[in-house]
Amino acid sequence: MPRTARPTIALTVGLTAALLAGCTDDAGSDSRNNGAAGATPARAQAGAPSSPTAAPPPTGPYVALGDSYTAGMKIPPQVGEPGGCSRSGANYPSLVAKALSLGAGQFRDVSCSGARTGDLTGPQKVADGTNPAQLDALTADTRLVTLGIGGNDAGFMEVVTECAKDNLVDILKGVITDSAERISDSPCRDHYAAGNGTDEVQRKVDAAGDRLGQVLQDVRKRSPKAKVYVIGYPGLFPADPASCLPVLGNAVPAADLGFLVEKQQQLNGMLRKRAEAAGAVFVDLAGPSSGHDMCAGEDQRWVEPPLPARGLAPIHPNAKGQEAVSGVVLKAIRG
């Protein structure tokens, strides 16, 4: 066995184990250089004339919808029912509601870890109960809606896990052939390639977009006077894969990190497109989170790495990330 293979195998096994243990119920995603940071009003994109008098920013009643990146998985304090949704009292919706001085009767957070678009219109079973259909929280009186969803539909966490596994297999093949060289420069990309220009991940993203478009229409029907904000996903990986070496080592080759960044861009691009088509506002987190990815230092990162700080969820936002996202969302709301 080549001596250089042992530490890489150990790190890759650890990475794969962490992903399988901590991330099987939810997905996180990201976008890099996917447009200017902040919010993108759909009407501005369409070239419609601006109103002579700016409308006041929406306040309440406010309903927050979404998956674990909204819920604040494992971030204390954990609040609400069912507990399996892993909803934090310090997630960005709670911080936004506090900044807007909304009382308990003016704010409902029904986000839930593991949620897919189907869980917005139907009940979601979790470890200790059932989260009702999230859209049921909307009423004709609702004036503010934030929605962070789509990563689980695209299966993005499964993609990250698969990349770790594929790289481990590739390394082991090199060991068997008594070679320190990888069999492939990008085994994960090879795994998902379809050979027709659209890989498996892109197909899932496209399908998620169709479902999201229908959900946004439903939101508009239920709450016609609400201002709707579709929240993108923060950055997971840096633009320069070399800066991930202290965190990931050589366990994931640069080409596969580039593949993951591409998929994150596609997911956030879909969210932007669907938000604009529905007349909602897309809130981009890719730009603001630059330099705060999982490979940044502990005092800088908004997202935890595969081996997270004690008690936190791997490849999910930490408390600092939730606070930062709340600031970006508030800026969008206040215009």
Dump pLDDT digits (tens) for 160-173.
777 766 565 444 44
Mean pLDDT of the chain: 81
Nearest in space to 257 (alpha carbons), one of 154, 321, 185, 178? 185
Within a domain: 160: no
Nearest in space to 138 (alpha carbons), one of 21, 198, 219, 51? 219
At 187 the pLDDT is: 73
Confidence of residue 2 (pLDDT cuts 50, 70, 90): very low
Q: Annotated catalytic residue: which of 111, 186, 316, 326?
A: 316
15 vs 163, higher pLDDT = 163
Domain around 261? 29-153+196-334
Structural domain count, the chain = 1
285-324 pLDDT, tens digit per residue, is 999 999 999 999 899 999 998 888 889 999 899 999 999 9
Q: What is the mean pLDDT of residues 245-250?
A: 73
Q: What is the mean pLDDT of residues 187-191?
A: 77
What are the residues whose beta carbons fall under 8 Å from the beta carbon of 184, sequence distance 6 or more?
170, 190
Within a domain: 3: no
- Specify the 3-state DSSP secondary structure of 209: helix
194 vs 247, higher pLDDT = 247
243 vs 38, higher pLDDT = 243
CA torsion, points 37, 38, 44, 50, in degrees to nearest 10?
-130
- Specify the 3-state DSSP secondary structure of 144: strand
What are the residues whose beta carbons fall under 8 Å from the beta carbon of 188, sequence distance 6 or more?
159, 162, 163, 166, 167, 252, 256, 259, 260
pLDDT more than 70, % of the chain: 74
Within a domain: 51: yes
Which tokens is 168 given? 């481990």
Distance, in Å, from the CA atom of 91 to the CA atom of 74, rounded to the nearest integer, reads 10
Distance, in Å, from the CA atom of 32 to the CA atom of 178, rounded to the nearest integer, reads 38
136-163 pLDDT, tens digit per residue, is 999 999 999 999 999 999 887 777 777 7
Within a domain: 172: no
Q: Is 292 one of the annotated active-site residues of the chain?
A: no
At 73 the pLDDT is: 97
Confidence of residue 244 (pLDDT cuts 50, 70, 90): confident
At 251 the pLDDT is: 64
Q: Is 94 one of the annotated active-site residues of the chain?
A: no
At 202 the pLDDT is: 86
Helix boundaries (H) for the chain: 5-22, 42-46, 68-71, 92-99, 118-121, 156-176, 187-192, 200-222, 245-248, 254-277, 319-334
Within a domain: 178: no
- Asked if the model's pLDDT at residue 6 lies above 80, the reply is no
Q: pTM for the complete prediction?
A: 0.80
Within a domain: 189: no
* Cα distances (angstroms) measured from residue 12 to each of 7, 70, 167, 172, 257: 9, 29, 7, 11, 14
Within a domain: 82: yes
Which tokens is 238 given? 């840096």
Q: Annotated catalytic residue: which of 29, 68, 86, 88?
A: 68
Within a domain: 177: no
Q: What is the mean pLDDT of residues 33-59?
A: 56
Q: What is the mean pLDDT of residues 62-79?
A: 97
- Which CATH number is 128's domain given? 3.40.50.1110
